[in-house]
Structure 1
Amino acid sequence: MKKILPLIMLCYATNIWSQNKDYPITMVPFTQVKLTDDFWMPRIKTNATVTIPASFERCEATGRVKNFEMAAAKKGKFCTIYPFDDTDIYKTIEGASYSLSLFPDAALEKYIDSLITIVGKAQEPDGYLYTARTIDPINVGPWLGKERWEKERELSHELYNAGHLYESAAAHFLATGKRNLLDIAIKNANLVCSVFGPAFNQRKVAPGHEVVEMGLVKLYRITGNALYLSTAKFFIEQRGQYQGYDASSKDQWKNGKYWQDDKPVWEQEEAEGHAVRAGYLYAAMADIAALTGDTKFLQAVDKIWENEVTKKIYLQGGVGAVGDGERFGENYELPNNTAYNETCAAISNIFFNQRMFQLHGDAKYVDILEKTLYNGFISGVGMDGKSFFYTNAMQIKNSFSHADMEAGRSGWFPCSCCPTNVVRLMPSIPGYVYAQKDKSVYINLFISGHTKMTIDNKPVEMVQQNNYPWDGALSFTVIPAAAQEFTILMRIPGWAKNEAMPSNLYTFANNTDKKATITINGEPIDYTLQNGYAVLNRKWKKGDKILVTLPMDVREVMANENVKEDIGKLALQRGPLIYCAEWPDNHGKTSNIILPANSAFTTTFKPELLNGITVLNTNVPVVNVDANGISVNTKNKELTAIPYYAWAHRGKGEMMIWFPSKVKAIDLFAAEESK
C-alpha cells in the first residue's frame, strides 16, 4: 500500500497540473513597485519602524518565541493561551519580509534569520511543526486531541498554523531570495500532503480555520509541485462532506455554517459563518478556479461575492456584522451600534477581491478593495502604529453596547491575530497597484511611485504622482524603452461614476453630472469604458503624460431600504473615503446631529490634524435639551466630519457615520442620557 499511495496522489496532482491554467490577469509584483506616496508611505514606514519591532517584541515578551524554543528542547509547558499563537511569529516575519524589500535593514534581516533558526529547530523530523503539541505531546490543552490533527475540524488550528507558515515562507523567499524558511515550509507541506488526501487511508477533513489552502497555492507557484495545488483543492472539496452536523439546527456551530462546512462549496451561494475564515476560503476558491479551470468553483465565488456586496457589507468595507461567532449575519443584517467588523475580516476581504479582479478584470472588485483598504482596514491600526481595533464600530453613543466597549484603541490582545495581520498587509500594498494581461496594463490604485514591467518582452517604466485621496488630480508618466503600442486600462472608480457601491446596497442621494476627464500630453480625449476602465490604446513614447481628474464632490449616501437601521439616514463620502463625526469636533456629542438632504459642504485640508486630513464642514440642526431637562429644541451648529479611519485618536466619546436626515421621533431615554 505504501507504493500505491504515492501513485494515487501523483495521478490526482497530475490531472490538475496538466491543465496548466492560471489567472488571466497577473499582478505586478510588490518587488517591482516602489512607492513615494504621501498617504501610504508614512503608514508603511510606521509599520516598519514601530509596528514590526513592537510585534516581534511582543512575540518575545508573551512567550511565543519561547514556545518554539521549548518545542526544540521537547520540554516545558506551552506558555501562551491559544495553539494558533505560533502564527503571530509567522505573520510578523511575513510583514517584515515585505518591509525589507522597501527598507533594506541588515539588522532586521539578521534577526529574522535568527527566528527562522529557532522555528527550524522546533520542527519535528518528519516535518510536523506545532509547538502546542511538540513541547509535551502527552499533556495537551483542551483545544487539541491526543493525536495529531484529531481536532483539526474544530479547534486545534494545526493546518491554520501551517498555512500561515507557508504564506510567510513565500513572502520571505520572494523578498529576500533565501530558502531557509521556505525549506521548513516545504518539509511541513510534504507531510501535510502525505497525511491528507483522497486515498482511502489518508485523512479527510475540512480545515477548521482556512488559510492552509491559500498557503499551499503559494508554495505551488514557487515550487511547481502540483501536489500542493491538488491538496489545496482537496481541502476545499471536503467542505460539506462531514456527516456529524445537524442540518435542521439554527445553531451555526451545530449546522456547520460557522466553518462554511454546511454544504459543498459549489452549492454555497451566500457569504456565511466566521468572516475571516470565509474570506480566506473564498480567496482560495478563486485561486483553484483560476489554476484548475474548475467552473463550479468559479460559479460559486461569483454568487458568494454578489451576495456579500449586495446584502452583507458595511459602507466602509467592513464585513462580519455579528459578534457572536465573528460572523456574517443574515441578508441586510447590518446593525450599527453592535457592528463587529473584525480588522482581519477586512484583510481577508481584500485578498478575496484582488483575486476576483484577476479572474474577471472588472473594476468593481477593485472598487470594493479600495473601499476596504482606505476605510475598514486602516481604521484597525492607530496612527502610532501600536494601538489597534479588533472590531471596527459604526457608531458610538452614550448607551451601553458591545461597540461602546471597543471605543478605545488598545495594544496587543491575548488573541493578537489583527495586529499581526496588519503587519503583513501594510507593506504588501505595492503589489496591489498595477496588473497586466498580455499587452494591457491595469492601473488599479492611485498611489504615487514608479514601477518597472515588461510588455511584449520590452521594458516599460511608469511614474505615478498624485495627492490622493485628498485630491482627484492624478498624473502618470509613461516611459517605454522605445516607442511601443500597448493599452493602458485606467480605473475610473465607481464613486466617480455615481456608484456608491457596485450594487444597490448603497446609493448616492445627490448624483453629479461631473465626469472623470483624461488628457494625454495636454490634449483632452474621449475615452470608452470597458468593465470600469478607461481604455487608452496608442503607440506610447518616452515621457507621454496622462492626466486624470476625478470629481471630488462630497456625496450623501443612502442605504437600501432593507437595511432597517439606516432608513431615513444619510452618510458622507468624498473620493474613496467614508466620513464620520466625532465628539471632539462637534461640541462633545454626535448622536444629536441631523443631516438634511442636499447639505452644502466646504472642504479644508488641515495638515496639523490627525497627521493631515481633509475635513468636511456644514451647518446642520442639532437637537438640544435645556438645562432643566424639560424642553427639547434644535439649533443650527457647525458639523465637522473627519475620515472614518482617523477616529478614536483623541479619547473616548461619541462617533457617528449614519445621521438622520429629519426628526421623526425622540427617544426620551436617550434624550435623558444625553443631558
Structure 2
Amino acid sequence: MSKLLLTALALGVAATATAQQRTDYPIQAVAFTKVKLADNFWLPRLKTNTEVTIPASFERCEATNRVKNFEMAAAKSGKFATTFPFDDTDIYKTIEGASYSLSLYPDKKLESYVDELIAKVGKAQEPDGYLYTARTIDPAHPHAWAGKERWEKERELSHELYNSGHLYESAVAHYEATGRKNLLDIALKNADLVCATFGPGKRAVAPGHEIVEMGLVKLYRVTGKPEYLSTAKFFIEQRGHYQGYDPKSPDVWKNGSYWQDHKPVYDQREAIGHAVRAEYLYSAMADVAALTGDKKMLASVDSIWNNMVSKKLYVTGGTGAVPGGERFGGNYELPNTTAYNETCASVANVYWNQRMFQLHGDSKYIDVMEKVLYNGLISGVGLDGKSFFYSNAMQIKNSAVFKESEPARAGWFECSCCPTNLARLFPSLPGYVYAQKDNDVYVNLFINGSTDLSVKKQPVRLTQQNNYPWNGDLKFTVAPTSTAEFNLLVRIPGWSRNEAIPSDLYSFASPITQQVSIKVNGKPLTYTVRNGYAVLARKWRKNDVVEVALPMEVRKVVANPNVRDDAGKVALQRGPIVYCAEWKDNGGKTSNIIVPAATTFTAAFKPDVLNGITELTATVPVVKVDAANNSISTVQQILTAIPYYAWANRGKGEMTVWFPAKITDVDLVTQKVEEKIVAK
C-alpha cells in the first residue's frame, strides 16, 4: 500500500481520491524524518535554530502583537495591532520550523506551546474557514490593504491567499512531524473555502503574492483531494489576463510584472519581478507540471530557470538585484554595492531548485542549490542565531559620510518575513540530502549522518562521514541487510568539474589541476558520469565503503563580460564556499585590495574564528592614500578572506566579494558629491 494512500486513510479521505494522482515527480526526496544528521557544519546550525532562532521568533511574535492579533480576532474585538496584513504568516512559519525541529529534537515544552498557538489560530478562524486577522478583528474597519470585502484586493495588496499558503505549508509540516491534525484541520477548512470560492465559473484572481499554490499542492499530497491540485493550477493559469494593466508600460507596477502577472505563465521565459514571489510561483509551476503532466508549463519553467542561472544569479546564489521592488533586474544586471539579494529569495530558490532536480535528475540544480545554501542563504542569519540580514550586500564601501548607512544585522524587522523563513528552512534541511528513483539512490548534499532506505523492498542504511565543506574527502558506508543490487549516484559538484555555475555567467579563471577520484573498498574505480552524478552500479554488500576525493583548490572566479560591475575583477571560491574580505582582517579596509592573476592562496582551518572556518590568505598589493602628501601608492599586504556567509558578525565595516585584478583607473569622489549622495 502506498504511503500516500496510508496517509489519506489516516485522514479519513476516500481511497479513491488518491487513485486520481497518475503522475508525480520522477524522483522523490527522502523525507526529512528519515535522515539523521551528525556533522560539524550544519548540525550546530540546526541546534542553534532550535535553541535560539525559533524561541526568539516566538518571543518576537508575542512582543510585536502578532499573537495578539489572533486573540483579538477570536474575540472579534480590538484593533489590528501590527503593520502588515501578512504578519499572521510569521506565526505560521515559526510553527512550521518548530514542527520540523520537534522531529529532530523532541521537546515537550515547545510542543505544548505550539499547541497553544494552534488553538489560538483555530479560535480566530471564522465558521466558514476564513482566516485573516486583518479583517476578522473588526470587519467594518479592515486593514487598508484588505479592501471592504473579502478577496477584493487579493491581486495586489491584501495577501489573503498568501496567508493561506503559509498556513497550509505549516500545517503539513506539523502533521508530518508530529502526526497531529489540529493545525491540519484548520488548514483544510480554509482550503475548502478557497476552493469553493475560486475556480472556473467562480471568482478568478492571480494571487498577488504567490505561495498558496505550493501550499495547496502539499495539501493535495496529504489528502489526495483533487480540488486542491486543480485550484493551484487555476491560480497559476490566471496570470496575464488582467486587462487593467498596460503590458507595454515599462513601469513594473502598471504592467504587472512585479507580481509575474504581465503575461500568461505559458508565455513567460524570463525570471522577472519580485524575486520571492517569482520563485514561489516557479516552484508551484514545477509542482503542477509534475503532478499533471503539463509539458507546456514544464517548458516554461525550464526556460525561466535557464534565464535566471545564465543572466540573473549572483556568485553567492543570491537573487533579486534591484532594491526597488525587491526584484530581478534586466539580463546581467548584477550590481555589487546596491545588490538586494533578499534572504527570503534564497529560501525560495532552494525550494525551486529541489523541485527542478526532482523533475530532471540533473546535478546542475543541486549545484545551484548548494551554492545558495552555503553562501547566499546562511549569510542571512548571524552566528548568534538571532540577528539577521533582510538583504545581502555584495560590497560595502565606507567613508566618513557613509558611516550611518553601513549595514548591521537586526534582531527583527517591521516586515519580518526573512527571520521566520529561515526558522522553517533550517530544520527541513535533512530532506534535501538524498533522493530515490526506482533502482537509483542519489546523494545530493555531503552532510555527515545516516539514513535508512528501502530499495526494491530491501532495507539499506547509508552513512556519510566527512568534514565538508572544509575538506573534500567523502566517505560513504553502504549497509544493506543482505546483498542488494542498485545504483548509488554520487553528485560530482560542478565546482570540482571546472564549472563555476551551470551556464557561462561565471567561470573559473584557470582549470583545476586535480581530478575527482573514487574508491570502493579501497580500490580505485573507473566510473561513468550521468547528468553530473558518478554512477556506482554494483551488488552492494554490508559495510561496503565508497571514498570520493574532491579537489579543494582555491579558485578565482570571473564573470561574463556582460556583467559590467564585475569587469576586470575576480571572486574567490574554495569547494562550495564563496569568500569575501572584511574590514576586521584587512587593516580596516577592503575596497583598496587588488588580487592579480598570479596570486596564490594558502588555506588554513581556524577553529576559533567565526565558529570555525577555513581562512584564505595571500600577499597582494593594496592601495594606500597619503593624505598629508596628497598622494597614493600600492604596498604589499596580507589579504585575509573569510567565507561570505560569516561576514558582519564582528561589527560594521567594509566588505567585498569581487576584487580588481589590476589597477585600471582611480575614482576620485569629492566630499561635496558624497554629501549630495547621502542627502538623496
3-state SS in 1 of match to 2:86: helix
Match of 1:159 among 158, 161, 176: 161
Contact 1:393 1:403 in 2 (8 A): no
Match of 2:87 among 74, 80, 85: 85
Whether 1:363 aligns to 2:363 is yes
Task: Find the counterpart in structure 1 of residue 127 from structure 2.
Answer: 125
Residue pairs, 1:243-322, within 5 angstroms: 243-322=243-322
Contact 2:174 2:180 in 1 (8 A): yes
Distance across 2 between alignment mates of 1:609 and 1:537 = 42
3-state SS in 2 of match to 1:288: helix
Describe the shift of the 1:17–1:138 C-alpha distance in structure 2 as closer, same or farther (beyond 3 A): farther
Task: Find the counterpart in structure 2 of residue 539 from structure 1.
Answer: 539
Task: Find the counterpart in structure 2 of residue 54 from structure 1.
Answer: 56
Q: For structure 2, which runs of at least 5 residues remain unmatched after alignment?
A: 1-15, 675-680
Task: Find the counterpart in structure 1 of residue 208 from structure 2.
Answer: 208
Task: Find the counterpart in structure 2 of residue 441 from structure 1.
Answer: 441
Contact 1:337 1:403 in 2 (8 A): no
- How far the C-alpha of 1:598 sits from its partner, in A, is 2.9
What letter matches 2:515 in structure 1? K
Describe the shift of the 1:257–1:399 C-alpha distance in structure 2 as closer, same or farther (beyond 3 A): farther
Distance across 2 between alignment mates of 1:403 and 1:644 = 21
- How far the C-alpha of 1:562 sits from its partner, in A, is 0.1
Contact 1:396 1:403 in 2 (8 A): no
Contact 1:395 1:403 in 2 (8 A): no
- How far the C-alpha of 1:411 sits from its partner, in A, is 0.8
What letter matches 2:498 in structure 1? N
Q: Deviations over 1:355-392 (max 9, x none)?
A: 00000000000000000000000000001000000000
Distance across 2 between alignment mates of 1:622 and 1:450 = 47
Distance across 2 between alignment mates of 1:180 and 1:16 = 22
- How far the C-alpha of 1:406 sits from its partner, in A, is 5.5
Task: Find the counterpart in structure 1 of residue 46 from structure 2.
Answer: 44
3-state SS in 2 of match to 1:539: strand
- How far the C-alpha of 1:629 sits from its partner, in A, is 4.5
Describe the shift of the 1:219–1:406 C-alpha distance in structure 2 as closer, same or farther (beyond 3 A): farther
Q: TM-score, normalised by structure 1?
A: 0.96
Distance across 2 between alignment mates of 1:393 and 1:403 = 16
Task: Find the counterpart in structure 2 of residue 145 from structure 1.
Answer: 147
3-state SS in 2 of match to 1:65: helix
- How far the C-alpha of 1:400 sits from its partner, in A, is 9.4
- How far the C-alpha of 1:650 sits from its partner, in A, is 0.8
Whether 1:615 aligns to 2:615 is yes
Task: Find the counterpart in structure 2 of residue 666 from structure 1.
Answer: 666
Describe the shift of the 1:166–1:65 C-alpha distance in structure 2 as closer, same or farther (beyond 3 A): same
Describe the shift of the 1:22–1:434 C-alpha distance in structure 2 as closer, same or farther (beyond 3 A): same
3-state SS in 1 of match to 2:71: helix
3-state SS in 2 of match to 1:101: helix
- How far the C-alpha of 1:667 sits from its partner, in A, is 1.1
3-state SS in 1 of match to 2:573: strand
Task: Find the counterpart in structure 2 of residue 9 from structure 1.
Answer: none
- How far the C-alpha of 1:632 sits from its partner, in A, is 1.1
Q: Deviations over 1:199-239 (max 9, x none)?
A: 2xx11000000000000000000000010000000000000
3-state SS in 1 of match to 2:486: strand
Q: Deviations over 1:469-518 (max 9, x none)?
A: 00000111001010100000000000000000000000000211311111
Of stretches 492-501 and 393-402 in structure 1, the one that deviates more from structure 2 is 393-402
What letter matches 1:62 in structure 2? T
- How far the C-alpha of 1:19 sits from its partner, in A, is 5.9
Residue pairs, 1:375-386, within 5 angstroms: 375-386=375-386
Distance across 1 between alignment mates of 2:183 and 2:670 = 56
3-state SS in 2 of match to 1:83: coil
Contact 1:270 1:307 in 2 (8 A): yes
Contact 1:20 1:291 in 2 (8 A): yes
Residue pairs, 1:415-494, within 5 angstroms: 415-494=415-494
What letter matches 1:524 in structure 2? P
- How far the C-alpha of 1:631 sits from its partner, in A, is 1.6
Task: Find the counterpart in structure 1 of residue 7 from structure 2.
Answer: none
Whether 1:530 aligns to 2:530 is yes
Contact 1:475 1:547 in 2 (8 A): yes
- How far the C-alpha of 1:628 sits from its partner, in A, is 1.1
Q: Deviations over 1:269-295 (max 9, x none)?
A: 000000000000000000001000001
Residue pairs, 1:567-606, within 5 angstroms: 567-606=567-606
- How far the C-alpha of 1:399 sits from its partner, in A, is 5.1
Distance across 1 between alignment mates of 2:598 and 2:28 = 42
Contact 1:48 1:96 in 2 (8 A): yes
- How far the C-alpha of 1:673 sits from its partner, in A, is 11
Distance across 2 between alignment mates of 1:176 and 1:160 = 24
- How far the C-alpha of 1:404 sits from its partner, in A, is 8.2
Match of 2:23 among 21, 28, 31: 21
Describe the shift of the 1:403–1:142 C-alpha distance in structure 2 as closer, same or farther (beyond 3 A): farther
What letter matches 1:549 in structure 2? A
Task: Find the counterpart in structure 2 of residue 179 from structure 1.
Answer: 181
Distance across 2 between alignment mates of 1:284 and 1:210 = 9
What letter matches 1:355 in structure 2? R
Contact 1:276 1:345 in 2 (8 A): yes
3-state SS in 2 of match to 1:669: coil
Q: Deviations over 1:33-92 (max 9, x none)?
A: 000010001100000000000100111111111110110111110100000000000000
Distance across 2 between alignment mates of 1:53 and 1:18 = 41
Whether 1:509 aligns to 2:509 is yes
Task: Find the counterpart in structure 2 of residue 337 from structure 1.
Answer: 337
- How far the C-alpha of 1:16 sits from its partner, in A, is 11
Of stretches 395-404 and 383-392 in structure 1, the one that deviates more from structure 2 is 395-404
Aligned structure 1 segments of 4 or more residues deviating by more than 3 angstroms: 14-19, 399-406, 670-674
Describe the shift of the 1:543–1:553 C-alpha distance in structure 2 as closer, same or farther (beyond 3 A): same
Distance across 2 between alignment mates of 1:672 and 1:523 = 68
What letter matches 2:32 in structure 1? F
Task: Find the counterpart in structure 1 of residue 10 from structure 2.
Answer: none
Distance across 2 between alignment mates of 1:661 and 1:179 = 58
Describe the shift of the 1:34–1:671 C-alpha distance in structure 2 as closer, same or farther (beyond 3 A): farther
Contact 1:338 1:401 in 2 (8 A): no
Distance across 2 between alignment mates of 1:155 and 1:399 = 39
Q: For structure 1, which runs of at least 5 residues remain unmatched after alignment?
A: 1-13
Contact 2:252 2:258 in 1 (8 A): yes
Contact 1:463 1:477 in 2 (8 A): yes
Contact 1:435 1:442 in 2 (8 A): yes
3-state SS in 2 of match to 1:252: coil
Task: Find the counterpart in structure 2 of residue 111 from structure 1.
Answer: 113
Contact 2:406 2:652 in 1 (8 A): no
Distance across 2 between alignment mates of 1:464 and 1:620 = 38
Percentage identity across paired residues of the two chains: 68
- How far the C-alpha of 1:403 sits from its partner, in A, is 12
Q: Deviations over 1:234-270 (max 9, x none)?
A: 0000001111101121110100100100000010000
Task: Find the counterpart in structure 2 of residue 75 from structure 1.
Answer: 77
3-state SS in 2 of match to 1:100: helix
Contact 1:397 1:404 in 2 (8 A): no
Task: Find the counterpart in structure 2 of residue 6 from structure 1.
Answer: none
Q: TM-score, normalised by structure 2?
A: 0.95
Distance across 2 between alignment mates of 1:667 and 1:112 = 55
3-state SS in 1 of match to 2:507: strand
- How far the C-alpha of 1:141 sits from its partner, in A, is 2.2
Q: Deviations over 1:595-642 (max 9, x none)?
A: 001311111100000000000000000011124151211011100000
3-state SS in 1 of match to 2:327: coil
- How far the C-alpha of 1:668 sits from its partner, in A, is 2.0
Distance across 1 between alignment mates of 2:199 and 2:331 = 35
Distance across 2 between alignment mates of 1:310 and 1:402 = 34
- How far the C-alpha of 1:398 sits from its partner, in A, is 1.6
